Amino acid sequence: MKKPTIYTRCGDKGTTSLIGGKRVAKCHPRVEAYGTIDELNANIGLLMAVLDGHPQLATLESIANNLFNVGCILANDEPGADIPQDAIEKIEEQIDIISALLPQQKGFLLPPTVEKAARANQCRTVCRRAERRITSLAEESKISPAICSYINRLSDYFFVLSRLLCNGAEKYWEKHWK
């Protein structure tokens, strides 16, 4: 039996297959949306790599699994599966738990310089981009409101996680111009 190769040559002309077989341009809004989810997941892997035994690792692993499901939903141009409401609620619970541990925020925060926090902040920014891509796709295709809610909540989660991982080393923006 011949071992399959990783390359198919099917995308050499700038198209890719959605779930179901329909071919679209690699710059199609649907591909941009699930590709950004994939990028977010790669960044979550980098974050997890530096968290060594942190209590949020299990949550991050659950998020990574959920994002694969979101990517599959977005890669299918036929309505079907959806993210369950309890996935959103679990993220909200984690936001509440982390927020209870944080001091009150006094203004806009500069990007963190603690590596773990910076990686969480990077996840937040990629998550926000994914949200913009999904919102753009929703202008032309039916996208589940639950997916939009989950991704929106997820960026909030990464924000509070970044604050937590700063371990008190947060720096606030100082407005210099009036």
Query: The domain 66-178: what is its CATH number?
Result: 1.20.1200.10
Angstrom distance (rounded) from CA 62 to CA 81: 18
Mean pLDDT to the nearest integer, 97-126: 91
Q: What are phi and psi of 55, to 5 degrees?
A: -60, -20
Q: What percent of the chain has pLDDT over 90?
A: 66
Residue 177: pLDDT above 80? no
Establish how many alpha carbons lie within 13 A of residue 168's alpha carbon, considering only the half-sphere containing its beta carbon. 0
Angstrom distance (rounded) from CA 63 to CA 61: 5
The structural domains of the chain, with segments of one domain joined by +, span: 66-178
Q: For all residues of the chain together, what is the average pLDDT?
A: 91
Most confident of 71-80, 137-146, 165-174: 137-146
pTM: 0.91
Q: How many residues are listed for the chain in this entry?
A: 178
Angstrom distance (rounded) from CA 99 to CA 163: 9
The amino acid occupying position 51 is L
Higher per-residue pLDDT: 160 or 9: 160
Instruction: Quote the pLDDT of residue 10.
Output: 67
pLDDT in tens, 24-47: 888 899 999 999 999 999 999 999
